[in-house]
Chain A
């Protein structure tokens, strides 16, 4: 192309403008960098007064952070500002915030099922790079909760806050009156006992969480006992097997001996069904025991015993604490996590009926330590013995919750189809086949090879922790 004198002038003029624009752009960039540096500087300065934003599912689980705020303030000058998210929907809200690299959260409290996604997408700052792993006294953390829940790619990303496991709570008075001397040892036993003790509308044989959101965990609890696995080594779904169909059929059968609104029963409703005295036995997270022995919450104080679930005990949810990779207050966030995770602080909240946290350290497993954060015994000695004993046994037969990348999605799909079977819209076999098909699509969308490796690493972590899987 020929460039005439006028075009040249225009060219020069345009170049000059472009140059000026670039220079301005550079200036703007520098200015923006300076601006973005300002909050860093100010947050560093603020860290002396230090408010650490803690994301957690709202409600009782946030209480320990509030209780220990004055102690943290006195110890290292930081307090926490709780950002409560709804329990159902927590995952999407965290992700929506973190994909924009938002610094709104300093500490994230979430279940380990999300750890795979959060680490692979760079949402978390490794604790091992912010301080020393020895700060967390990891040898005291129960093996099933330790590396599989806290570590990825050799780095420590999280610290425990709540160790969850399912266990049976049952009414000793009702069992005795019916001449039943021991809790169920197999799932067939469980069904028979539920049938025998089912006397509606005053007494229901059993209850479980059947509402959409977490009913998959109650299926997995039975599936685990029958020897089921999540996937094969090459990531083919292993839920649509005979064990899977049998487990789901068992859950559907148990529905007959449950309260009539069983499909409406979520976590709170399940607690209530037991605490109001209308249900003979339930499978629930272990913190139910604390509430069952608390006269302000329960009509059945002193009438309960606690036992492991038949054969295996599923470990749904749990909670870990991690530092956001985008936090501008990472050092204080680290200190908050270290403080809340420490043995002498966590022992004050894991047995407190006013929150939902459960033991996760070896040092927690002592019946004499079942006290609330004010130091008062939170249940009678006999019940405390039964409760802590059940947790110890449960942990030896604990069955891990999936926590590879995409885990929340796999679990949500499983939950949907388990719920379809419970609602009677699909047979157990149809439900699990459809769930398996959806699982295949998830695996394909996340990359088959990536998932095979992540699953293998995860299974190995459990094997290394001594968990049978």
Chain B
């Protein structure tokens, strides 16, 4: 007699256990992430105002069309782009230089790395309040030192030409150490044999950096760039504390303008549309960087300098 094998139920054994284990996280994800995402998408197609007596209407893509004509949106996008570009360029350059310098100082590396962690473990708002004191026109230490040097005192956060650079300085102070540590960790993960071989082959320090270190470090650099790009694009705390978007709208970033629309004017439909545009911009930028990261590390032989090719 042929034994009848019972077909395993969808809910039997390990499968049920697996589903039960995954369920809480899935439910939390749906409730806290998926639902708000879909809800805000729906909101972005309405003209909902939290404090209006006029009932909300479905307006299709009108909010998105309005964004295109909104001067404040474009200027805030410009501020966010300028901020993000400066942050990524400067912090990556300085962070890389510091990481390379630290890599050559194995003796003090741990101590310095610990010190470097301090700014990034502070909350951005706390750091901003400290910087507000530093920037103070009449009693701030920065102007005190300028005075000692007989230089003109600066209105750090009130001069339209200086306000954004001042915010960049705060972000630079807080996040460059973090970039340094990420790149330092990346440097430690590189295979030492490659560098030894390069040195044996007579490569100069610059050649090793240009043709070995940077290409091998590319993925870490890409991740660092994405992290800082996202952080810089959504910068809010330091603007809120230090300039409130001013003077005028000189430091009103996209995230800050979105906050103003959503939480000061309660134009939640418009604000939701703006959030989606921000998300799309960040996703596209991240995608471009990831594509660059996925490219193979090697280069065509024709590109290799003669000295290297000879090796």
Show the binding face of A for B, using Cβ within 8 Å.
88, 91-92, 95-96, 99, 117, 120-121, 211-213, 259-264, 405-406, 408-409, 412, 416, 419-426, 434, 442, 445-447, 450
Q: Which residues of A contact B157 (CB under 8 A)?
A: 264
Interface size on B, residues (CB 8 A): 30
Task: Name A264's closest neighbour in chain B (CB-CB).
Answer: B158
Residue B51 CB within 8 A of the other chain? yes
Report how far A264 CA is from B49 CA in the complex, Å: 32
Can you list 11 A-B pairs, Cβ within 8 angstroms, ordered by A? A99-B51, A212-B243, A212-B247, A262-B158, A263-B158, A263-B160, A412-B265, A421-B248, A423-B160, A425-B249, A445-B47
- The answer to whether B52 touches A212, judged by C-beta atoms less than 8 angstroms apart, is no
Contact at A419–B71, with CB atoms within 8 Å? no
Question: Considering the chains assembled together, what is the distance between the CA atoms of A45 and B265 in angstroms?
Answer: 39
Compute how far the CA of A378 lies from the CA of B249 in the bound complex, rounded to whole angstroms: 41
Contact B264 A120 (CB under 8 A): no
| Residues of the A chain whose Cβ atoms lie less than 8 Å from the Cβ of B51 | 95, 99, 117, 120-121, 405-406
Q: Known contacts A424-B160, A445-B47; can you find 20 more A-B pairs with CB under 8 A?
A: A92-B263, A96-B263, A117-B51, A120-B51, A212-B245, A259-B137, A260-B153, A260-B155, A264-B155, A264-B157, A406-B51, A412-B264, A412-B265, A416-B245, A419-B248, A420-B248, A445-B54, A445-B267, A446-B49, A447-B54
B201 at the A interface (CB under 8 A): no
Q: Which of B114-165 contact A (CB under 8 A)?
A: 137-138, 153, 155, 157-160
CB contact under 8 A between A422 and B247, given known A95-B50, A445-B267: yes
When the two chains form their complex, are residues A260 and B248 in contact, meaning their CB atoms are under 8 A apart?
no
Residues of B within 8 A of A264 (CB): 137, 155, 157-158
Given A92-B264, A405-B51, A213-B244 contact (CB < 8 Å): yes
CB-CB under 8 A for A425 and B160, given A212-B245, A212-B247: yes
B246 CB within 8 Å of chain A:
yes
Instruction: Report the minimum CB–CB distance from A63 to chain B (whole Å).
Output: 23
Chain B interface residues (CB < 8 Å from chain A): 47, 49-54, 71, 137-138, 153, 155, 157-160, 243-250, 260, 263-267
Q: A95–B266 contact, CB under 8 A?
A: yes
List B contacts of A263 (CB < 8 A). 155, 158-160, 246-247
A344 to B274, CA, bound (A): 52
Q: Are B247 and A419 interface neighbours, CB within 8 A?
A: yes
Q: A91-B264, A445-B267 in contact; A99/B246 too (CB < 8 A)?
A: no
Tell me, rounded to whole Å, the shortest Cβ–Cβ distance linking B139 to chain A. 10
- In whole angstroms, what is the CA distance A405 to B54 when docked? 12
Q: Which residues of B contact A423 (CB under 8 A)?
A: 160, 246-248, 250
Q: Shortest Cβ distance from B35 into chain A, in angstroms?
A: 17
B63 to chain A, nearest CB (A): 12
Q: Could you tell me the distance in whole angstroms from the C-beta of B190 to the nearest C-beta in chain A?
A: 47
Which residues of B have CB within 8 Å of A91? 264
Residue on A nearest B139 in the bound complex, by CB? A272
Q: Which residues in A have their C-beta under 8 angstroms from that of B250?
A: 423, 425
Residue of B nearest to A121 (CB): B51
A92 to B54, CA, bound (A): 20
Chain B residue with Cβ nearest A272: B138
Which residues in B have their C-beta under 8 angstroms from that of A419? Answer: 246-248
Q: A420 and B153: CB pair below 8 A? A: no
User: CA separation between A425 and B247, bound complex, in Å?
Assistant: 9
Is B248 a contact partner of A416 (Cβ separation < 8 A)?
Answer: yes
Scoring A99, A264, A412, A424 by chain B CB atoms within 10 A of each residue's CB, the highest score goes to: A264
Nearest first, the 4 A-B pairs at minimum CB distance are A212-B246, A420-B248, A263-B158, A264-B158
- Per the bound structure, the CA–CA distance linking A450 and B54 in Å amounts to 9
Instruction: Quote the shortest CB–CB distance from A293 to chain B (angstroms).
Output: 23
Chain A min CB distance to B179 (Å): 30
Chain B, residue nearest A424 (CB): B160
The answer to whether B53 and A450 have CB atoms under 8 Å apart is yes
Chain A, residue nearest B260 (CB): A412
- Give A338 to B137 CA distance when docked, in angstroms: 43
Write out the residue numbers on chain B whose beta carbons fall within 8 Å of the beta carbon of A447. 52-54
B246 surroundings in chain A (CB, below 8 A): 211-212, 263, 419, 423
* A contact residues around B138 at 8 Å (CB): 261
A121 to chain B, nearest CB (A): 6
Q: Which residues from B are CB-within-8-Å of A409?
A: 264-265
> Is the beta-carbon distance between B160 and A261 smaller than 8 angstroms?
no
Q: Are B52 and A446 in contact (CB under 8 A)?
A: yes
Q: Which has the most chain A C-beta neighbours within 10 Å: B53, B54, B247? A: B247
**A434 and B71 in contact, given A96-B263, A412-B265, A450-B53 (Cβ under 8 angstroms):** yes
In-complex Cβ contact of A120 among B53, B71, B245, B263 (8 A)? B53
Q: Considering the chains assembled together, what is the distance between the CA atoms of A412 and B51 in angstroms?
A: 16
CB pair A426 B248 closer than 8 Å: yes
Report B-chain residues with C-beta under 8 Å of the C-beta of A422. 247-248
